[in-house]
Amino acid sequence: MANQIHPTAVIGPDVRMGDDVRVGPYAVIDGAVVLGDHVEVGAHAALGGWTTVGQGTRIFPHAAIGGDPQDKKHKRSDKTCLEIGANNIFREFVTVNRGTIEGGGLTFIGDNNLFMAYAHVAHDCRVGHDCVFANSGTLAGHVVVEDRAIVGGLTAIHQFCRVGTMAMIGGCSRVIQDVPPYSLCVGGPAQVYNLNAVGLRRAGMTSSHMKHLKEAFRILFHSGLSRPSAVEQIEKEVQKTVEVGHLLDFARSSQRGLCGSAKEPSSEE
């Protein structure tokens, strides 16, 4: 199908578009932007830089996608990129910045993510697939968010933190350490309360896998052991399902440390 470009939209000479692209009134698209098939850009949205947007993605009014990184070291001549996958939704006033030279030059967003109004993705972040960012969910630079994670509204995540697979962070949280996969976290600073049991059941996790993961969480967060000792005990005592293995790998590779437990360890746990 032919593209539908509103006559008031401003399209730069280097912009490339696929088929059936729609651009609304007063949108500005400039620089080396590439829009895939069936992309929609709403009124007054701004896209720039070396930015690629995957097919089926919808960018709502007043979103700013592909802007310079908010980093004092960045130079206007630095060729850094933003890569966005397919079927994402960027609601009103969402901002996503390109990478920095020091950070590898790339901000990456996978497929099927929802960014609600005023969410922010800073330079050099990596977001996986099927994630949800509620209103004003905010990533500082170099943050990694794994698949199917949920970031609550008004939540701020510190530079270089990681958010694990299927983790859920409650609203108004302050995340300063890594959020373990499959966890339910909230607070300022954010703490681990439990497994994200509802999310895991909705994803089809079996009761046996849930049981092994729950035991691993008990040892990791409520045994009173140091993290290395807890990881060693999990390896010895808990069946290594795919989920338990991922949790262990995540804990071992953590540079900032994991969010702490919301409950004090007791002799009964």
**Residues annotated as catalytic (active site), given as ranges:** 123-124, 141
What's the CA gap between 227 and 233, in Å, rounded? 10
Residue 247 near residue 181 (C-beta atoms within 8 A):
yes
Pick the closest to residue 9 from 44, 36, 37, 39 (CA basis): 44
**Those residues with Cβ within 8 angstroms of residue 142's Cβ, 6 or more apart along the chain or in another chain:** 103, 122, 123, 124, 125, 159, 160
Pick the closest to residue 28 from 61, 1, 4 (CA basis): 61
Report the 10 Å Cβ neighbour count for 31.
15
Concatenated DSSP letters of 77-120: T---EEEE-SS-EE-TT-EEE---TTTTSEEEE-SS-EE-TT-E
Q: Quick one: tokens of 94?
A: 């969402």
For residue 105, CA distances in Å to 7, 16, 162, 267 come to: 34, 21, 19, 49
What's the CA gap between 98 and 264, in Å, rounded? 41
Q: Which residues pair with 187 in a beta bridge?
A: 190
What's the CA gap between 43 and 61, in Å, rounded? 5
Q: Quick one: tokens of 218?
A: 């008990």
